[in-house]
């Protein structure tokens, strides 16, 4: 039983670490996508106004 408890504790820690890393990467990706969309909008606006 003790070995089972250790396995589940380690699995829980791995899941928490993976969720934290995915959250950080997703946050970074979201910022990059917003930046690219904003850059494209500014470029289109400059193209149409000039």
Going from the C-alpha of 9 to that of each of 1, 2, 18, 23, 43, the distances in angstroms are: 12, 11, 14, 21, 51
How much is the pLDDT for 37? 93
Tens digits of residue pLDDT in 3-34: 678 888 888 899 999 888 888 888 888 888 88
Provide the residue ranges of all domains of the chain, joining segments of one domain with +: 15-49
Q: Please, how many CA atoms are within 13 Å of residue 5, restricted to the half-sphere of its CB?
A: 2
How much is the pLDDT for 1? 56
């Amino acid at each position: 039983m003790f070995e089972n408890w250790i396995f589940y504790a380690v699995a829980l820690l791995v899941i928490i670490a993976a969720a934290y890393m995915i959250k950080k990467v997703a946050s970074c990706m979201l910022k990059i996508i917003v930046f690219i969309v904003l850059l494209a909008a500014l470029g289109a606006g400059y193209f149409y106004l000039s």
